[in-house]
Every structure is written in C-alpha cells, then in structure tokens.
Chain A
Amino acid sequence: MATIRIPPVLRPQTGGQTEVDAAGANVGEVLRALTAEHPATEEQLFGPEGDLNRYVNVYLNDEDVRVLDGLETAVSDGDTVVILPAMAGG
C-alpha cells in the first residue's frame, strides 16, 4: 500500500482528504486505484490516451517519475506518491 498526497486543487474530488492510501505495483496502478475510488480525479490526472497530463507532476517519494520509468515506475509498500500541480498564487 502506498500513500498518495493530494494537492489542494484535487481535494474537492477526494472529499477533502489530503492523503489517500492506494494499492498497486507501479505508479500508474496506484493512480488508477485513486481514480477508481474518486472518479472525479480522473480527467484531471489523465488525458484521453491514458497518459498523465503534462501539467501534473508526480513524484515517487522525492523523485519525479519523469526521470524514473513514468507510470511504470515500481512502487513498494510504504512509498509516498506526491501529486503536484503548478500553483500561481502569490
């Protein structure tokens, strides 16, 4: 089981939860477990082809999955997946 950290802009879609536990062997599966539980998050995370939207950064622990194996990046028990969109508030 991994823990997904939910950014403020996605919290309305997770019922206000800031963290969601989700199972999966890789990052893609973990995120799909999230969208299965909270379907409203799907279109904000994934494009029509099933790829991660370019404006959503996803980190496994402290590393950007873009420099790992993307959605295929293996996830271990106890890992943290951070979803991070850009914010512009100043």
Chain B
Amino acid sequence: MATTQTTQQIEEIEPFEAAQEIEGGDVVLIDTREPHEYKEAHLENGKLVPPGLLGDEIAAAAPDKSARTILYCRSGNRSYKAAEQLQALGYENVASMAGGILAWQEQGLPVVSASGMTAEQRDRYSRHTLLPEVGVDGQLKMLNAKVLLVGAGGLGAPTALYLAAAGIGTLGLVDDDVVDASNLQRQVIHNTERIGVPKTESARLTIEALNPDVDVVEHNFRLNSSNIVEILSEYDVIVDGADNFPTRYLLNDASVRLRKPVVSASILSFDGQISTFVPFEGPCYRCLYPTPPPAELAPSCSANGVLGVMAGTMGLLQANEVLKLVLGIGEPLIGRLLLFEALSTRFTELKVRRDPSCPICGPDAPEIADEDLGKFPDYDAFCAG
C-alpha cells in the first residue's frame, strides 16, 4: 500500500499486472492522453483525463482518493507525470502502466478502438463488415453473442467451427463423450491425436487455435432436468445437435420456459431436417413432434450410419440460422421445416404450425415443475439415442 508522501517513487506496473488488477475489479482506470488518441483506441472502462485538464477533471473521474487508480498513456511518460500530480493531490494508491497502451497492445491485450473493435478484429472480420447487412455493428453483435451448442458431435462440430470463425464471442459446448476414431469421418472439429480426449476439450483446443476472440465454455456432462435451466439461462441462442430424443424434448421444454430460440437439426443416413423454434413466435419442437417414435423407428447414427457430409451440410445450415438470429436479419426457419436429401440433392420445405393443444407452448399449457421438464406422462420409456 502506497503512502501519501509526495517524495515517493511512483509505482510502475506492467500491462499484464494492470490487466490482472482490472480483471479483479475495484480499479479506477485513467487515460492521460488527448481526446483524438483516446478515440482511436483505449482500454475498456478507461476514463479520459487529458494532461492539461487533470486538475479540473480528475475529481469527477476519480472521486475516491483511496481507491486503486491506474494511469496509462501512449508509452508511459505522460501517465507517470500525471501519477506524480495525483499523488501530490493526495491520491494514496496510484500506479502508472509502464509502456502505455502500446505495450498493452503488443502483449495482445484488448482495446476498444474507434469502431469498437481492435485493429486485429477489423482485419479478421473485414469480409463480414464489408457486408451492409452485417457491418461493424453486426460484427459487434456476434462478438457479444452467447451461443450454446448441445452436442459437440456430428452437427455440433461444423456448427461450432463456423460460429467460432465468425466471431461468436461465447460458445458453450455440452457433451459428455470423448472423441472416438469412428467420429472423425464427420466430426471435423476433432482430430486423430485427440482420440480419447473429452469432446468439449478437443473442440475448445481447435476453436482457440482458430479464433482467440472466442470464449469457450465447456459443459462436460449431460443435460438433465436439474441442470438445464441454469445452463440455458446463460445463453442467447441454443443449437440442438443432440443425438437422442430425451435431450431434445428436455431442451425444448426448458427453452420454451426461458423463451430462448433453438436452432434444431437432425441427421440420419443421407437425410437431414432443420427448423428454428422461437418460443411463442412460432411452433416448438413438441408442436412439430408431439410424441417421440418408438425405438424401432428411431435408429441412431451409430446404429444406422450417416454420410459425413450430411453433418457438415446440416451443421452449417444451423450456423446460418444462428447468425441470422444474432444479427436480426433475413428470415429464420420459424414455422418451417427444411428437409435435405443428399442422394437426390433435394431440399423440401414443409410448414410447421403452432399446436393449440401443445402441452408446452399452447395457450392452456400448464406450469411445469423442473423435474417434469422433458417428460412424457403417457410415455414410459424413451428409445435409446
């Protein structure tokens, strides 16, 4: 803890130390440069107090003289001098960031730039921001979006890869499985070296190498009625790539309650289906499929096989739906079920209506207790995934 002696040397801290303190909270961050420099790029939550206005403006920017106060400028000189002034004014716990914002950026730490994006981001996402329908604002929406992928397998792998590349800022991955050699014919986010590694971890490693902007959250377990509400609450859009009916119905019931949009696809052999369920705006999964089929009519990919590119095709259609929902553009597949048949290369679109007697989203739907999410009162046993 520094004292108020004016003769004391100013504490200088490295950018990574400043970053740790800022991350920990309770830090007043002062930018001691000129307005045009600040506008070009500054640290998040950095308050601009130009050197010439320090005496007039510091009291408003940093009212608490006992609070931890970190100053920075371009290269560390102006902030050092400003820190001396603050100490003389009675600020008790002042530090100057050595090397300034230049050193901060050299270490790859994030700044808020004129466009709200870093220089690296402006470059990385330039093919997006060139699109009038996306632009900088749209890219920022993507960077701030939180998308949950249920299943990091056939569908989840391509969906996650492209959403990560697109700059979706937070990707949650739910999967309790490990990578198996038989996955690799379609699950392109994993690789041969990762056989035996949890799928969420393998996917995270691939995503981190692809795009450091993406924060990957691993949920290395199965969804159940006691954890799903808490997990879904954290996300804006849910992607259903589950490989079993119980999870699909559970996910539907919880997402309707939380009013979270779900992009749902499924694949089998050479066929795929996809729709987007936006609660109360369009139908839900139970409106489309009131009852799951018996086991003999619900084979899994592991039992029946699936053409690898089906996972890619349907997974990318899911990613497309997610981006439209995040950006608020285009026409998502709300109330529409799109079928894709790989052998004939044929797309078919079917209408899906809200079911007035839907037990989950219908007008007379009862309140459902947590433990009853995903349940079928008249259906004893689900088929296996």
Which A residues form the contact surface with B (CB < 8 A)?
5, 7-9, 18, 44, 54-57, 59, 62-64, 67, 82, 84-90
A88 touches B242 (CB 8 A): yes
- Closest chain A residue to B301 by CB distance? A89
- In the complex, what distance in Å separates the CA atom of A90 from the CA atom of B239? 11
CB neighbours (8 Å) of A67 from chain B are 353
- Find chain B residues with CB under 8 A from A56 CB: 293
Interface of A is mostly: mixed
Q: Are B289 and A57 in contact (CB under 8 A)?
A: yes
| 9 closest cross-chain pairs (CB), A and B | A86-B289, A55-B293, A90-B243, A87-B266, A90-B241, A89-B301, A89-B268, A54-B291, A55-B291
Kindly identify which residue among A54, A57, A86 contacts B298, using a CB–CB cutoff of 8 Å: A86
Measured between C-beta atoms, what is the minimum distance from B152 to chain A in Å? 10
CB of B306 closer than 8 Å to a CB of A: yes
| CA distance in complex: A28, B299 (Å) | 26
A86, B245: Cβ atoms closer than 8 Å: yes
> How many interface contacts (CB-CB < 8 Å) are there between A and B?
96
Tell me whether A55 and B299 are in contact (CB under 8 A): no
- The answer, yes or no, to whether B101 is at the interface (CB within 8 Å) is no
Q: CA A7 – CA B81 in complex, angstroms?
A: 75
Find out whether the CB atom of B290 lies under 8 angstroms from the CB atom of A89: no
Is B304 an interface position by the 8 A CB rule? yes
A44 to B297, CA, bound (A): 8
Partner of A8, one of B289, B304, B350: B304
B203 smallest CB distance to A (angstroms): 14
Return A20 CB to nearest CB of chain B, in Å: 15
Task: Determine if A90 and B348 form an interchain contact, defined as CB atoms under 8 angstroms apart.
Answer: no
Query: Which residue of chain B has the shortest Cβ distance to A61 in the bound complex?
Result: B350
What are 13 A-B pairs at a CB distance below 8 A? A9-B299, A55-B291, A57-B289, A59-B350, A62-B349, A87-B273, A88-B248, A88-B266, A88-B292, A89-B301, A90-B242, A90-B267, A90-B301
> Beyond A8-B304, A57-B288, is A84–B350 a contact (Cβ under 8 Å)?
yes
Number of interface residues of B (CB under 8 A): 47
Q: Which residues of A contact B299 (CB under 8 A)?
A: 9
B351 within 8 A of A: yes
Report the stretch among B38-46, B57-65, B153-161, B254-262 that lies at the interface.
Answer: B153-161
CB distance from B377 to the nearest CB of A (A): 13
Q: Using Cβ atoms and an 8 Å threshold, which residues of chain B touch A86?
A: 245, 266, 288-289, 292-293, 298
Contact B300 A9 (CB under 8 A): no
In the assembled complex, the Cα of A72 lies from the Cα of B346 at a distance in Å of: 28
Q: Which residues of B contact A8 (CB under 8 A)?
A: 268-271, 304
Min distance, Cβ A87 to any Cβ of chain B, angstroms: 4
Bound Cα distance from A55 to B245, whole angstroms: 12
Give the complex CA separation of A64 and B337 in angstroms. 11
Q: Which residues of B contact A9 (CB under 8 A)?
A: 268, 293, 297-299
> Is the C-beta of B54 less than 8 angstroms from some C-beta in chain A?
no
CB-nearest residue of chain A to B341: A18
Query: Across the interface, do B289 and A55 meet the contact criterion of CB distance under 8 Å?
Result: yes
**Which of chain A's residues have a CB closer than 8 A to the CB of B266?**
86-90
Within 8 A of A (CB), among B349-367: 349-353
Q: A7, A44, A62, A90: which contacts B155 (Cβ < 8 A)? A: A90
Residue of A nearest to B310 (CB): A89
Contact A87 B350, beta carbon cutoff 8 Å: no
Is B385 an interface position by the 8 A CB rule? Answer: yes
Q: Is there an interface contact between A89 and B267, defined as CB atoms closer than 8 Å?
A: yes
Please give me the residue from chain B that is nearest to A45 by CB atom: B297
Bound complex: CA A7 to CA B352 (Å): 18
Bound form: Cα–Cα A89–B297 in Å: 12
Cβ A55 vs Cβ B297 within 8 A: yes
B243–A62 contact, CB under 8 A? no
